Structure 1
Amino acid sequence: MPKHEFSVDMTCEGCPNAVSRVLNKLGRVEFDTDLPNKKVCINSEHSMYLLLETLGKTGKAVY
């Protein structure tokens, strides 16, 4: 599966939970969140654009 890495403006322990919630709804993804480095690594067949849009649903800035 292709691997994608995004920077997400996560500021507290609730932020990785928000990321998990939206990605789990998308389905067919494996991911790790790194709160101290504000990174989300995703293994998925979904397009980068769909993943970016999905992460945007958290209300956090995504780069």
Structure 2
Amino acid sequence: MINLIVIGLIVAGTAFRLAVVLLGAPPTNSDEAIMGLTACLFPSRWFPVLVVGLLAVGSTGC
């Protein structure tokens, strides 16, 4: 039973993302997820130390 729920959630999430992309929303990438998760940690006073890549920290002119 739990497997059917998990499969249903995966199918529903995939269908939703496909619909959003087909409606013209800009694509997402993993850097947005990392920045979002990091921002969620700051109010709880957790300050993660991680390297997300040179493009994400604004060093494209170097």
TM-score, normalisation: structure 1:
0.28
TM-score, normalisation: structure 2:
0.29
| Greater Cα radius of gyration, structure 1 or 2 | 2
Tell me which of the two structures has the higher relative contact order, counting C-alpha pairs closer than 8 angstroms and 6 or more residues apart. Answer: 1
More strand by share: 1
